[in-house]
Chain A
């Protein structure tokens, strides 16, 4: 009756591989289908003649003189080997793979800490609201949740900056570290990083917290009406014990599924937050790429972000396998 674990994983792995290949093809087509000639984009529309040698050299350099299927095969091969191309625009002539790690690290830091915090706070918030269903606390919490859920992430950031700039004018609003970061000792470094990260993370998570809380609340209210909860009560268990041992594990199942989707959401959020706080992560890089028409860079950033979300989904699928026995059937 039970589908074997290996079968489940291999099926998910195959889907992951197919999706990655699809994404890469999509990426290839998208950036070839854009209007305008890439070389002309690079130099500005009227600054280069189509018949000049410079134009031909660049055409050759970017591989645009070859037929489209050769370009496609080359693109796939090169991407699989880990080369994401060269940036022409934001950072001219730099291999994108070389500069990406520092940017990726900052985004992972922001979204990782943000996701964990959002999940923890969201679950507690939703649990307490559901436990006091219909009472004043629940009403206030739900209303607050709905309002927070409706606020676009970038608005939180703008409001924080406005309020903090008024109250604490010295608070750092830009970048991920101070200029004198290297000269600080270990504790100073930590405090400096934390101080720079507080506002971005706070603006990033409030919406996710509200989202998680609303889901946990409705799912827990559902679970609390089940018969087995009544049985537990009849056995003489205390209210809080029922909540923790019997209700919460089941109520958290839908949350796991949402976590995976939320990774994509947080990714989108980091784009806004990094742009506002000039926090030099992937989102900031994307903005610079859009600004300087650096399509190679934009393509690479897009690819990495999707890859991250796909991997997160894969991990969530595996987690779900262990948590929810129904998947095995």
Chain B
């Protein structure tokens, strides 16, 4: 389809809408004052980052000094940064209200946040599709069709695995719990509750999973806690994945002294026991959710680096890399176009396993009394149950729900990772 007018409305409408949204957000931000919730603030931060990238991108594109190819590359790069940051921020925005301690947060505000998030997400997706179609030629569209076909094939294989499908279902359910949980929960676990008290009550009609020693609903705590585990798991897994991949790629590609240095560092982190290290780091840096996430991420990247490095070493010597170099391909080009796509399947499976490890670590830190005391999580529930003597008194309804949820979540991530690993890295196929 050829647009004869100089100004393509499709191209300009969406940035303009985003600008309007951002201005509206700034107004709400300015007028809302203290009533504004932190989750929505992060969401706005995401929109601002997106906006800044767009403006920067358009500025560069309008500047005449660039060739067509450079133009397109800059635009795509900024686009992906913008989308990536926004999605990350949206994720945080969606999940933080569920985990942070906001006593005055009610269903309406959550609903408002969710609607804005959804609108922005859809707009970004549409924009991404339009941009990609614009930026890519006919042959590239064929390529994209092919990769879609590949995805469908992987999904087809994935569907064959019963344990994989089970795990995926569990994950989806827990994700839904995390998003809608705070709206449907009976009460906010952070609210101070007077009266009642005394002994925990077993499950009954009002409290489906019973109450704890402060007469608070266990089910509400489980619902609020699901967001924490997912948030910590995904973000910490992401940090560890990025660190591991970057270090593995660098070590494998450059070899020699770089390799030796980075691999000694990797060995160092591989050898030191994770839990004591995490305890020491969190004890020193302070008990906050962000610090827990960063510490888990920073401590656990070493296995990924090992895997990535080994893969890079075997790919690096292939002939097509040499050919690409002979044709004038630079380092960045070779890593991005030839090495990374080959390493990618390995990373996908590993990253999902990393998420499982991160959830495990978070539960442990919380249980050890090093979690963020203001954040409701499953590990925190178990810590309180333990401190109140729930085990010795056989208050099973206080221990089993968070315990079972932790096991289910970790197991699901393991199983999904395992299934994907079997599909993407088929070692076992000949049997």
Q: Does B370 contact A (CB under 8 A)?
A: yes
Interface size class of B (residues with CB under 8 A): 35 or more
> Quick check: is B207 within 8 A (CB to CB) of the other chain?
no
Contact B386 A268 (CB under 8 A): no
Cβ-defined contact, B399 with A150, below 8 A: no
Contacts A162-B394, A173-B392; is A271 near B271 (CB within 8 Å)?
no
Q: How far is the CB of B165 from chain A (nearest CB, A)?
A: 15
**Which residues of B are found within 8 Å of A165, using beta-carbon distances?**
391-394
A34 contacts B284, C-beta separation under 8 Å: yes
**B363 close to A (CB within 8 Å):** yes
Taking a contact as CB atoms under 8 Å apart, the answer to whether A302 and B276 are in contact is yes
Is B126's CB within 8 Å of the partner chain A?
no
The complex places the Cα of A150 from the Cα of B267 at a distance, in Å, of 25
Which A10-40 residues sit within 8 Å CB-CB of chain B? 15, 18-19, 22-23, 30-31, 33-35
CB closest chain-A residue, reference B410:
A150
CA distance A34 to B279 in the complex (A): 13
A261 is an interface residue with CB less than 8 A from chain B: yes
B391 contact from A162, A290, A301, A305, Cβ within 8 A: A162
Are A166 and B394 closer than 8 Å at their CB atoms? yes
Total A-B residue contacts, Cβ distance less than 8 Å: 126
Question: Counting CB contacts under 8 A, is A310 at the interface?
Answer: yes
Q: Which residue on chain B has the smallest CB distance to residue A31? A: B284
Fill in one digit per residue for B347-371: 1 if any A CB lies within 8 Å of its CB, else 0: 0000000001000100110011110
Q: How large is the interface on A (under 10, 10 to 19, 20 to 34, 35 or more residues)?
A: 35 or more
In chain A between 259 and 273, which residues have their CB closer than 8 angstroms to a CB of chain B?
261, 264-265, 267-269, 271-272
Main secondary structure, interface of B, reads: helix
Q: B323 in the interface, Cβ–Cβ < 8 Å?
A: no
**In whole angstroms, what is the CA distance A27 to B415 when docked?**
37
**A165 — nearest CB in chain B belongs to which residue?**
B392
Interface string of B162-175 (1 = CB under 8 A from A): 01000000000000
A221 and B364 alpha carbons, distance in the complex (Å): 34
Contact A155-B277, Cβ < 8 Å, known A147-B411, A225-B431, A272-B368: no
Contact: A152 with B364, CB < 8 Å?
yes
Which residue of the partner chain, among A22, A162, A264, A305, contacts B268 with CB atoms under 8 Å?
A22
A248 vs B188: C-alpha distance when bound (angstroms):
55
Interface string of B261-301 (1 = CB under 8 A from A): 00010011011111111011101111000000000000000
**Are B271's CB and A267's CB within 8 A?**
no
A267 touches B268 (CB 8 A): no
Contact A267-B275, Cβ < 8 Å, known A287-B368, A290-B370: yes
The distance in angstroms between the C-alpha atoms of A213 and B55, with both chains bound, is 56
Are B273 and A309 in contact, with the CB atoms below 8 A? Answer: yes
Question: Which A residues lie within 8 Å of B392 (CB)?
Answer: 161, 165, 173
A287 to B363, CA, bound (A): 16
Q: Are B279 and A286 in contact (CB under 8 A)?
A: yes
Distance of A284 from chain B, by nearest CB (Å): 12
Residues of B contacting A230 in the complex (Cβ-Cβ under 8 angstroms): none
Q: Chain A nearest CB: distance from B377 CB in Å?
A: 13
Residues in chain B near residue A290, CB distance under 8 A: 279, 283, 368-370
| A152/B363 in contact, CB under 8 A | yes
| Chain A proximity of B346: nearest CB distance (Å) | 17
CA gap between A153 and B406 in the complex, in Å? 12
Q: A105 vs B360: C-alpha distance in the bound complex, in angstroms?
A: 28
* Cβ contact of A272, chosen from B268, B270, B284, B364, cutoff 8 A: B364
Q: For residue B95, which residues in chain A have a CB less than 8 angstroms away from its CB?
A: none
Cα distance A272–B399 when bound, in Å?
A: 16
A212 interface residue per 8 A CB criterion: no
Find out whether the CB atom of B364 lies under 8 angstroms from the CB atom of A150: no
> Does B208 belong to the interface (CB within 8 Å)?
no
The residue in chain B whose Cβ has the minimal distance to the Cβ of A313 is B271
Interface set, chain A 151-172, CB cutoff 8 A to B: 151-155, 158-159, 161-162, 165-166
- What are 20 of the A-B contact pairs (CB < 8 Å)? A18-B264, A19-B271, A33-B284, A35-B284, A152-B360, A154-B364, A155-B382, A155-B407, A173-B392, A264-B273, A267-B275, A267-B276, A268-B364, A269-B275, A275-B368, A276-B386, A286-B279, A290-B370, A298-B283, A306-B273
Known: A23-B272, A221-B431, A267-B276. 9 other contacts (CB 8 A): A18-B264, A34-B284, A35-B286, A150-B411, A154-B367, A158-B403, A268-B275, A290-B368, A313-B271
* Interface, chain A (partner B; CB < 8 A): 15, 18-19, 22-23, 30-31, 33-35, 146-147, 149-155, 158-159, 161-162, 165-166, 173, 221, 225, 261, 264-265, 267-269, 271-272, 275-276, 286-287, 290-291, 295, 298-299, 301-302, 305-306, 309-310, 313
Of all A-B residue pairs in the complex, the 10 with the closest CB atoms, nearest first, are: A268-B275, A150-B411, A264-B273, A34-B284, A161-B391, A150-B410, A162-B391, A267-B273, A290-B283, A165-B392
